Structure 1
Amino acid sequence: MLSFEGFVRINTAATAVYRLAYLNLLWVATTVLGLGVVGFGPASYALAAYLDRWVRHGETPPPARTFWRLVRERTWHAVLVGWVLLGTGTVVVTNVLQAADGTVRALNVVALVALVVVAAYVFPVMAATDITSLPRQLGAALLLGLGSLHWTVLGATVVAATTWLLWHLATPLLLLFGAAIPALVVALVTRIVFSPLVESPGLPGRTTHHPHGTPATEQAS
């Protein structure tokens, strides 16, 4: 017979799955409404910021209202980040596919890997720190991914395995969760990576929680 505690755990897990699917649908809607090139950045920032609050701080505010507020929070900066990622990605992928020289192609493959790492971490960096300039955000994302390379590789493996399983066994679920799967994995990685910053008061630039509910970074005095 199912105990009350077991029922609570099942209900909590089901609510989390529903919330993750809802966030993915909000991400898709925002991206589509922004015609991709305009919507991708704000949607990805809002998703990363919400998951940061959920995974690191245990907060689960109303998804839709909070998501739309986060979309409007740093709209044009997030759009610019999205343009940089999409533009650079287009150039690099084109070079990988069309470059005649093997060395050039290999260098572009390396650049593509670095770009994927930056794309995975730049929006969590925007959401969880007080780094404001675009070059520093991109640099911090790359350093974060390479500095925690073992977690990055493990996260990429989990995302690849989950995507492969859903693609072959339950394609509709892949459409339902899509972008939320890698975003959640990155949020779990950043929770581990950022935790020493929170636990070390003497460490400069440590992450903390903004009084209005938005993650920020507190500079040590």
Structure 2
Amino acid sequence: MFSFEGFVRINTFLTGAYRLAYLNLLWMATTVLGLGLIGVGPASYAVARYVDGWFRRGETPPVTRSFVDGVREQPWRSMVVSWILLGAGAVILTNVFRGPSWTVQALNVVALVVLGVAAAYVYPVMVATEAAPVGRQLASALLIGFGSLHWTILGATAVGLTGWLLWQYALPLVALFGVGVPACAVGVVTRIVFRPLAQDPDQPGSRALHRSSIGAPVTEQVA
């Protein structure tokens, strides 16, 4: 027999899975409506914004309204970031498959890993920090990713393992959760990494965190 606490834990898990799936569907719809290049940046920022508030501060506002607010918050900045990442990715992938030598191809594989780390953390950095030049935010994403390399590796391993299991045993769930799985992993990592910066204002880099991000957890009912 399940205890009451057991049912509460199951309900909490299922509610969290629902949020991730719904965020993924909203991300897909926004990206498609924005014809990819226009929509992917604001959609990714909106997902990072919701996950950051959820994981770090315990805020769970209505998903649709919060997502739309996130899309409208920094549309041009988030689009520029996505264009930089997509452009760099296109160049690197071209060099990986068509490089003149294996040395060039190997170096571009390393560059692809670096680009993946930047792409994983740049939108959470944008959400959690004051407005800054795009270049500085990309650099901060790399510092966080490689400065907390053990957490980055654990997160990437969890995402890879989860993706493989879904691909092998529950293929439709890959489309249902999509970016929700990596967003969840990045949210866990940034919750751990950002917490000392919020608690210690004298620590280097902590001044960039929003003061509103340091408050006590506030939970709202999901509509």
Give me the TM-score of the superposition, normalised by structure 1.
Answer: 0.92
CA distance in 2, matches of 1:157, 1:172: 21
Note the C-alpha offset of 1:125.
0.4
**Mapping of 1:115-154 within 5 angstroms?**
115-154=115-154
Q: RCO (CA 8 Å, sep 6+): is it higher in 1 or 2?
A: 2
Structure 1 unaligned spans of 5+: 214-221
CA distance in 1, matches of 2:6, 2:165: 27
**Mapping of 1:4-83 within 5 angstroms?**
4-83=4-83
Contact 2:21 2:176 in 1 (8 A): yes
Contact 2:30 2:40 in 1 (8 A): yes
Task: Output the aligned Cα RMSD.
Answer: 1.5
Contact 1:125 1:131 in 2 (8 A): no
1:90–1:8 distance in 2 versus 1, CA, 3 Å: same
Q: Match of 2:202, SS?
A: coil
Contact 2:130 2:210 in 1 (8 A): no
Task: Report which stretch shifted further, 42-51 or 104-113.
Answer: 104-113
Contact 1:117 1:142 in 2 (8 A): yes
Instruction: Note the alpha carbon deviations across 1:154-198, whole angstroms, 9 max, x for none.
Output: 111110000000000001111100111001100100111111112
Aligned pair count reads 212
Instruction: Note the alpha carbon deviations across 1:116-151, whole angstroms, 9 max, x for none.
Output: 000000000001111520110111111111100111
Note the C-alpha offset of 1:109.
1.0
2:212 is the alignment partner of 1:210: yes
CA distance in 1, matches of 2:187, 2:211: 15
Give me the TM-score of the superposition, normalised by structure 2.
Answer: 0.91
CA distance in 1, matches of 2:103, 2:7: 58
Matched residue type, 2:38: V
